[in-house]
Amino acid sequence: MLIRHGFLKFKCIPMLFFLVLYACGIETEDHKRVSRAKSTLNEEVIRIPMTIKRPSGMQKFLLEATVYRPDGQGPFPLVVLNHGSPRDPEKRRRKGRARFEAQSREFIKRGFVVAIPMRRGYANSDGEFAESYGKCNNAHFYKAGMETARDILAAIRFMQSQPYVDASRVLLIGQSAGGFGSLALASQEVEGLLGVINFAGVRGSPRPFKNCSPNRLIKAVEKYGQTTKVPTLWIYSENDSYIPPSLAREMHDAYTEAGGKARFVMLPPFEKDGHFIFHRKSGIPLWIKIVEDFIKEIEILSPANEK
């Protein structure tokens, strides 16, 4: 009995030591990493209200979102980062909220508030996936993009109501389906929106190097371009498995010929798949200067009363 008792005492020492360290505020490496991120990005997870009018009545949702803020009270210009849509439907919930920590840090350093909303059907947001384009041989890309735009608009309007945000200075950035949806929303004349950056915007890629209906995709962006007044920046990569360079250029040409303002940039091949050049931290040096030049062009960092 004495030996067993002594053994239990010995086994408890490491746990007791850990608890003492924790109580005293001494952190592990993981705790330090999280603390550093929070101290420099002021990360906050919020719920954004969204209401949609349906024939059956009003539907209300709460969208999960990540917000990063610079130090200070602001008001700061706003960047809304919009995530893509995985080919595997099961990953929409399973992957959890998008954080884009390294990417957001670049915008925080330049004085932006960053909001990353998770749309309906993703992560912990309410509702079912609402962005389906239907069957491949009869894809409704325009409609799907406008459905994505609903969620993005809800995020913009909520963030514009925050005291630390300058509602007159908004920049949309989207990747893949998020880029496509950002172009869709820009066609609706959103108050305060000054520009859009589209990273690899596309819909309709059920498998690598295959698009459901390229002609319908081109027609959709052409329609967006007809009513878009703000400047846009399109960034693609030569080895994007979701959209070939030729299709990306055709989309851009249709968009500009319809009246949309767009600067098109085709970057060299990036790692194994250029579709994720925005996602990867290693991709940031390849696009940050291009983005920075666009930010200067649209003068979003200048307060409205100084323009």
Q: What is the chain's pLDDT, residue by residue, as a tens digit (307 residues)?
A: 333 444 334 344 444 433 443 344 444 444 444 444 455 799 999 999 999 988 888 999 999 999 999 999 999 999 999 999 988 888 899 989 999 999 999 999 999 999 999 999 999 999 999 999 999 888 999 999 999 999 999 999 999 999 999 999 999 999 999 999 999 999 999 999 999 999 999 999 988 988 999 999 999 999 999 999 999 999 999 999 999 999 999 999 999 999 999 999 999 999 999 999 999 999 999 999 999 999 999 999 987 545 4
The span from the CA of 75 to the CA of 69, in Å, is 10
Class of domain 48-300: alpha beta
CB 61 within 8 A of CB 126: yes
pLDDT at 4: 40
Given this model, what pLDDT does residue 80 score?
Answer: 98
Task: State the pLDDT at residue 40.
Answer: 76
pLDDT at 304: 58
Residue 93 CA from chain centroid, whole number? 16
Residue position matching structure tokens 């067993």: 4
pLDDT in the model for residue 95? 86
- Structure confidence at residue 61 (pLDDT): 96
pLDDT at 124: 96
pLDDT at 277: 98
Domain boundaries of the chain, sorted by first residue:
48-300
Closest to 165 in 3D by CA, of 296, 81, 70, 230: 70
Q: Are 80 and 171 in contact (CB under 8 A)?
A: yes
List the beta bridge partners of residue 53: 58
User: If DSSP codes are grouped into helix, strand and coil, which group holds residue 164?
Assistant: coil
